[in-house]
Amino acid sequence: MEGTTPPMSGKDTWLSEESILQSLEEAVNRISKKNLAGALDTLIYLNFERLLLPAKDQRTLLAVDRSQVFGPERVRETAARIQRCEAALRESDAGGSLDAAKAALARWKQT
């Protein structure tokens, strides 16, 4: 199933290639317009870090790696850039947050 993202279940159904891409693009756009609080809200709502945490498969009750469907390395690297962006936003660093948000977006686009 290369090129497509398998559907996630339950609370994770909102996480898809497209929804993550849209959220990162929205954050970059908001930072570009100096709406730092709005950009931080966007990233908090995205809750990308959730992909780094294991989940429980309701059918088998086994732990599953949420990042597997997107590529663990891609998720870790994107998450690190998002965390840098959030830290810069909390410091009201528009330039640093824009650089980090653009880096997160660029990394997410790499498959």
CATH number reported for the structural domain that contains residue 20 in this entry: 1.20.120
Domain-embedded: residue 40: yes
Residue 111: name the closest of 72, 54, 81 by CA. Answer: 72
* Confidence band, pLDDT 50/70/90 cuts, at residue 2: very low
Check residue 9 and give its pLDDT: 43
Q: 84 near 101, Cβ under 8 Å?
A: no
* 7, part of any domain: no
Give the three-class secondary structure for 55.
Answer: strand
* DSSP 8-state class, residue 92: T
Domain that holds residue 82: 14-109
Q: Is residue 44 part of a domain?
A: yes
Q: Is the pLDDT of residue 10 over 70?
A: no
Please list, residue by residue across 30-47, b when 16 or more beta carbons sit within 10 angstroms of its beta carbon and e when fewer do: bbeeeebebbbebbeebe
Q: Is 3 inside any structural domain?
A: no
Is 4 a domain residue?
no
User: What pLDDT does residue 54 have?
Assistant: 83
This prediction's pTM = 0.83
Q: Which residues pair with 65 in a beta bridge?
A: 54
For the cut 70, the answer to whether the pLDDT of residue 100 exceeds it is yes
Number of structural domains, the chain? 1
Name the amino acid, one letter, at 54: P
Q: Is residue 1 part of a domain?
A: no
Query: pLDDT (tens digit, 9 = 90+) per residue, 36-89?
Result: 999 999 999 999 999 988 887 778 778 888 898 899 999 999 999 999 999 999
